[in-house]
Homo-oligomer: A and B are copies of this chain.
Amino acid sequence: MFLAKKYTKKHEVSYYECDINQTMTFPSMLGVVIKTSEDQSDQLGRGSEFVNSFGLTWVITNYSMEINRLPRVGEVISVTTQAMEYNKFFCYRNFWIHDEDGKELVKIESVFVLMDFVNRKMSSVNEEIIAPFESEKIKKIKRQEKIEKIDSGFMLPYRVRFYDIDSNQHVNNAMYFNWIIDVLGYDFLTTHVPEKVIIRFDKEVEYGNEIESHFEQIPIENGVKTKHEIRMQEQLYCEANIIWKNK
């Protein structure tokens, strides 16, 4: 029985991390969450410098999020991360956000891969990099939940801006949520609350690209399912499904 190392950090939710609903935006929430895994890596001597010394860098390919309640402005949340399991190519890392009473607000399952930053190809998992996290080695490739395609939708174009590239030198995955969420519009976003998100990042967009944020809404019981595709010149860059309940 393996018990991978857990790492927890507190965070006070600021007004500028929240939207008009008084709850945290996806980019802010994912920023804080990923920072926690970076802090754990630094603490274990496996920070970005160490990873880069092998010519490698971490890339996130999938998130699956279950949201009981989004963090609210002013509250102090605890963010916990744990590198659960890995196989030859994929590392499975979980995140949890708890409120001050220890109630689980959000659970995020993610898939990380190591990429060679010269040839931009996926590398097999390097034991030296991941040993200190004490995650379990498994044979199986864990199947990610299937993301449903758009049948007929609408879209808006978005240009990738300078501030969409973060200090890790590429367009932050969390930024895709700017385009995915914005396209739904004010009326939708002030009358619906997200409950579940699955997202897959297929290709990296780059500074100056003009992407298309496509979406489709499907009514479901007590809410709506939205399907999302970030496309450029007919190519798929990112796809997501979100379950929303009515407010």
Chain A residues close to B by CB (< 8 Å): 14-22, 25, 27, 31-32, 34-35, 38, 73, 161-163, 165-169, 172, 174, 178, 181-182, 184-186, 189, 207-208
Contacts and interface: CB of A to CB of B under 8 A. Distances in A.
Contacts of A168: 15
A167 B38 contact: no
Nearest to A19: B163
B38 A15 contact: yes
Contacts of A181: 162-163
Given A15-B166, A31-B16, A166-B18, A208 B182 contact: no
Contacts of A34: 15-16
A174 B13 CA distance: 17
A216 B9 CA distance: 44
A167 B20 contact: yes
Contacts of A166: 15-16, 18-20
Contacts of A20: 162, 165-167, 169
Q: What 8 A-B pairs have minimum CB-CB distances, sorted nearest first?
A: A16-B31, A18-B167, A161-B182, A73-B167, A15-B167, A20-B165, A22-B167, A162-B182
Nearest to A72: B167
Given A16-B174, A207-B186, A163 B35 contact: no
Contact of A19 (B21, B165, B182, B184): B165
Contacts of A172: 16
| A15, A34, A165, A168 interface centre (most CB from chain B within 10 Å) | A15
A168 B25 CA distance: 14
A138 to B, nearest CB: 29
Contacts of A185: 162
Contacts of A186: 162, 207-208
Nearest to A175: B16
A161 B38 CA distance: 29
